[in-house]
Amino acid sequence: MSVPPPAGSGRELSNPPSDGISNLCFSNHSDNLLVSSWDKSVRLYDASANLLKGEFLHGGPVLDCCFHDDSSGFSASADHTVRRHVFSTGKEDILGRHDAPVRCVEYSYAAGQVITGSWDKTLKSWDPRGASGPEHTLVGTYPQPERVYSLSLVGHRLVVATAGRHVNVYDLRNMSQPEQRRESSLKYQTRCVRCYPNGTGFALSSVEGRVAMEFFDLSEASQSKKYAFKCHRKSEAGRDTVYPVNAIAFHPIYGTFATGGCDGYVNVWDGNNKKRLYQYSKYPSCIAALSFNKDGRLLAVASSYTFEEGDISHEPDAIYVRNVNEVEVKPKPKALPAAAPL
């Protein structure tokens, strides 16, 4: 029996996927929302109108999705394919293939390329303008130290997080080798990496209830600013339960960020001031993915069991779209020290 969602969790979208939600992302141009799922589908919603506008099926579970523009998008599947979807016509084609499930897909506006990461331990870049046929669209293949788990882009920078806690930082203008090869500062497996909107670094989360705040600049002054913090944990009767942090989403205006964990909570953080700004009411299931819309007024939340405890009975997979109040995401000004008496 499903439990009704708590008040204040946002508006639940109709026609959700019928299996685990792997990702959701808003368009940069509208309130269109693209959703990928283990039910082998990619769904396009108008999040404001609560309308399912289109659906595309793969030959296997879909592990990631992203927009190209408002009229088309890309998806990455466990059937080893990278696909392009044209929303207005319902047309789709195979952009290319990996040798194993494709875990991540991102579109780089700076390079005009699609970047994919796979469990075949490679990164590939594709030119979606290439003539039809994968051999014409492949720009390059870049070996990785391990299976790719998460990707993030900001400007010409690309951050790749793999198994084995490796983190590679690339400049998209010269992909011949990583600009930096790093190791995660967290002790456990990486779950998600997301670049800061201002381009100075990235946040990285692990399966062990922690987030690390990292900086690209290797100078001592910049590196001294990096830190990690614990989150998505609970303590009961002297026993700590620690949850994976599955999702990170940055607010496009304020640069604050939301995290989502297997504890069913979404927290909002001010990374500069090292403070939690807000915690939303608990969702019915794990938080599998998060995305702010283009102006940060809406936050899409995937409440979807991520199978950490195996195939057990769980709440139905659902997508909530909540209106974001400024107080939840705007950094609070630092209190000034009281002026000395004259």
Question: Whole-structure pTM over 0.85, yes or no?
Answer: yes
Residue 314 has pLDDT above 60, yes or no: yes
Rounded Cα distance between 37 and 23, Å, is: 7
CA–CA dist 304, 79 (Å, integer): 22
Distance CA 87, CA 70 (A): 8
**CATH architecture, range 11-328:** 7 Propeller (2.130)
Answer for the pair 222, 215: CB distance below 8 angstroms, yes or no.
yes
Mean pLDDT confidence for 33-51: 97
User: In which band, very low, low, confident or very high, does the pLDDT at 9 lie, cut at 50, 70 and 90?
Assistant: confident
Q: Where are the domains of the chain?
A: 11-328
**How far is residue 191's CA from residue 150's CA, in Å, rounded to a whole number?**
7
Average pLDDT, the chain: 92
Residue 215 buriedness (CB in 10 A; 0-12 / 13-18 / 19+): middle
Distance CA 332, CA 311 (A): 42
Q: Residue 73: which residues within 8 A CB-CB, separation 6 or more? A: 34, 42, 44, 65, 66, 67, 84, 85, 87
Residue 195: pLDDT over 50: yes
Q: Which of 1-15, 120-134, 170-184 is least confident?
A: 1-15
> What counts of helices (H) and strands (E) characterise the chain?
3, 30
pLDDT tens per residue, range 242-284 = 999 999 999 999 999 999 999 999 999 999 999 999 999 999 9
- pLDDT number for residue 1: 43
Top pLDDT among 4 and 327 is at 327
Cα diameter, the chain:
77
Cβ neighbors of 128 (< 8 A, separation 6 or more) are 68, 74, 84, 95, 112, 113, 114, 137
